[in-house]
Amino acid sequence: MIQALRIGIAGLGTVGSAVLRLFDEKAKTLALRCGRPLKIVAVSAKNLKRKRGIAINSYKWYDDPLKLASSEEIDVFVELMGGEQGIAYLSVERALKTGHHVVTANKALLAHQGIALAKLAESKGLLLNFEAAVAGGIPIIKLLRESFSSNRISRVYSILNGTCNYILTRMRDQGLSFEQCLKEAQNLGYAEADPTLDIEGNDTAHKLALLTSLAFGTVIMLDDIYIKGIRNISLEDIRAADELGYRIKLLGVTIKSDTGIEQRVQPTMVPTSSMIAQVNGVTNAIAIESDLIGKLFLSGAGAGGNPTASAILSDITDIAIFSQITAQNIPVFGRPTNILKPYKKSAISPNSTGYFIRCSVDDCTDLFSFIAQELAKNHISLKTIIQKSLSDNKSKPKQTILLITHQTSEFAIYKAFNTLMQNGTIVNKPQIIRIESPV
Ligand code: HSE
């Protein structure tokens, strides 16, 4: 009789609980697909007594995830605890050393330790699957790992954080405050335990680092990502973007050119007519540009229990199938680790699609000419200029100026606006947002 695949799960938060619930519902279907039974045999979490809405007493309980990771009673260790090091790293390492396949949703861990763990998995002939680590239910890891082998990818741009996209969408649609929208995202189980990882862009950066490695066949280089979060995006910016025909999205972009690779995470304006501008709420999206396929656009649920659990069950299913039929595993990052190329950072190129700038000046007609002169000195030309009076009945009225530039660099813009701030032409720190031209 074919042996059941025995699974141990460490971490029973939103995602872990969804895996247990869905596993109960789908165990028969999965067994038919895999040609063998699959069985969750043991679990581990911080708190045995926490209310999860599911019974866990039929599974063996481990207080210590490391003991579960080295247990001879399991074949697959599923790591859903999170965290870039500490117990998550130690238990995944322990599981691989013990000879267990691993499934993890832990993007932070892989962005920091992915290559070392891939080497360990490879040396043991084990699978280390991480579909749930990037873009929740969108099967982007398998797609990049297996389906682009003959393509040369030039650019990937993406919405990879459901929490941020949810916040930006709710602020725009309902006019709610940033704090209120973040609370909602937390209550819905989208945000990280530490939500600063979401809103400051690090979660997107972790995911982007993995996509870059898979897309370009290089080692992972998290430290090279330019990261800016959405914390300082105001309702005023969102409304101004609307007025000018754009939406603001937290994009993760990775580009390969002749000079190397450029990775950045930042709030970005995209034309309202583009597909990515229409991706709202917790939905994620990934666009891939390559020589043979051209443009490919995927969107789907990027966070939450069911979509993420779906990715985990798919990884477990692959292990149940592959571990029976082949001794040769698909490499963790699409290529054996010894042929992953070193990462080469590209020189930052000027942005051909320009920048949005919002700044305030005291209500004096001459001031705009100072701004125009300073921009010209830095070779920045303007495509759109909108000047608005803020008539708040105060003795000294202010004006808001909205600008869209032609091709220029972020460096030139910051240089010009630093001067304008220092000489008192503009009254507050300007808002500067990159514009991207997506499909
Ligand atoms: N906090 C993450 C997000 C969870 O909002 O996208 C899914 O990785």
Cα(191) to centroid of ligand 1, in Å? 6
Neighbouring-strand partners of residue 9: 43, 78
Pocket of ligand 1 contains residue 82 by CB under 6 Å: no
Neighbouring-strand partners of residue 254: 156, 263
pLDDT at 350: 77
Q: What is the pTM of this model?
A: 0.94
Cα(303) to centroid of ligand 1, in Å? 5
Residue 328: pLDDT band (50, 70, 90) is: low
Q: Which atom of ligand 1 is nearest to the CA of 134?
A: 8
Residue 175 scores a pLDDT above 90: yes
Percent with pLDDT over 90 in the chain = 85
Pocket of ligand 1 contains residue 190 by CB under 6 Å: yes
**Average pLDDT for residues 237-254, to the nearest whole number?**
97
CA–CA separation, 43 vs 57, rounded Å? Answer: 10
Beta carbons of 289 and 153 less than 8 angstroms apart = yes
pLDDT at 393: 55
CA–CA separation, 260 vs 255, rounded Å? Answer: 8
**Average pLDDT for residues 155-184, to the nearest whole number?**
97
Write b or e for each residue in 326-336: b if 16 or more Cβ atoms lie within 10 A of its Cβ, otherwise e.
eeebebbbbbe
Q: Cβ of 164: how many Cβ atoms within 10 Å? A: 32
Q: Whose CA is nearest to atom 7 of ligand 1?
A: 303
**Average pLDDT for residues 150-157, to the nearest whole number?**
96
Summary mean pLDDT of the chain: 93
Q: Whose CA is nearest to atom 8 of ligand 1?
A: 303
pLDDT at 404: 96
Angle at 150 between CA 145 and CA 152, to 5 degrees: 90
DSSP secondary structure string for all residues of 184-252: HHHHTT-S-SSTHHHHTSHHHHHHHHHHHHHHHTB---GGG-EE--STT--HHHHHHHHHHTEEEEEEE
* Ligand 1 pocket: which of 81, 130, 163 to mutate (most atoms within 8 A of CB): 163
* Ligand 1 pocket: which of 190, 197, 306 to mutate (most atoms within 8 A of CB): 190
CA distances from 47 to 12, 62, 288, 300, 439 (A): 9, 10, 41, 32, 46
Pocket of ligand 1 contains residue 163 by CB under 6 Å: yes
Beta carbons of 7 and 78 less than 8 angstroms apart = yes
Pocket of ligand 1 contains residue 162 by CB under 6 Å: yes
Collapsed DSSP state (helix, strand, coil) of residue 108 = helix
Point out the residues that are catalytic.
Answer: 207
Pocket of ligand 1 contains residue 16 by CB under 6 Å: no
Q: What is the CA radius of gyration of the chain?
A: 24
Amino acid at site 165: N
Q: Which atom of ligand 1 is nearest to the CA of 303?
A: 7
Cα(414) to centroid of ligand 1, in Å? 31
Token pair of 157, please? 């741009």
364-401, pLDDT tens digit by residue? 667 788 899 999 999 999 999 998 876 555 556 678 99
Beta carbons of 255 and 191 less than 8 angstroms apart = no
pLDDT at 50: 87
Cα(198) to centroid of ligand 1, in Å? 7
Nearest-10 Cα torsion for 231, 233, 236, 237: 180
Residue 52: pLDDT band (50, 70, 90) is: confident
Contacts of 130 (CB under 8 A, 6+ apart): 103, 104, 105, 106, 107, 110, 141, 210, 315, 332
Contacts of 80 (CB under 8 A, 6+ apart): 9, 10, 11, 12, 13, 15, 16, 19, 104, 105, 106, 312
CA distances from 301 to 137, 138, 374, 377 (A): 6, 7, 44, 46
Pocket of ligand 1 contains residue 302 by CB under 6 Å: yes
Pocket of ligand 1 contains residue 136 by CB under 6 Å: yes
pLDDT at 365: 64
CA–CA separation, 287 vs 299, rounded Å? Answer: 9
**Average pLDDT for residues 272-289, to the nearest whole number?**
97
Sequence-separated contacts (24+) of 151-154 with Cβ below 8 Å: 151/290, 151/291, 151/292, 151/293, 152/290, 152/291, 152/292, 153/215, 153/216, 153/256, 153/288, 153/289, 153/290, 154/255, 154/256, 154/257, 154/289, 154/290, 154/291
Cα(72) to centroid of ligand 1, in Å? 32
pLDDT at 397: 64
- What are the two backbone dihedrals, phi and then psi, of residue 354, each rounded to the nearest 5 degrees? 80, -175
Q: Which atom of ligand 1 is nearest to the CA of 105?
A: 8
Pocket of ligand 1 contains residue 200 by CB under 6 Å: no
Q: Whose CA is nearest to atom 4 of ligand 1?
A: 303
Beta carbons of 164 and 199 less than 8 angstroms apart = yes
CA–CA separation, 172 vs 190, rounded Å? Answer: 19
182-200, pLDDT tens digit by residue? 999 999 999 999 999 999 9
pLDDT at 327: 53
Residue 326 scores a pLDDT above 70: no
Residue 40: pLDDT band (50, 70, 90) is: very high
**Average pLDDT for residues 86-91, to the nearest whole number?**
97
Pocket of ligand 1 contains residue 203 by CB under 6 Å: yes
Q: Tell me how far apart the terminal alpha carbons of the chain are, to the nearest angstrom.
A: 52
**Average pLDDT for residues 212-241, to the nearest whole number?**
97
CA–CA separation, 257 vs 365, rounded Å? Answer: 44
Contacts of 421 (CB under 8 A, 6+ apart): 429, 430
For the ranges 132-146, 230-244, 319-333, the lowest mean pLDDT is seen at: 319-333
CA distances from 283 to 164, 168, 352, 416 (A): 10, 12, 28, 37
Percent with pLDDT over 70 in the chain = 96
Cα(44) to centroid of ligand 1, in Å? 22
Residue 439: pLDDT band (50, 70, 90) is: low
* Ligand 1 pocket: which of 107, 161, 196 to mutate (most atoms within 8 A of CB): 161
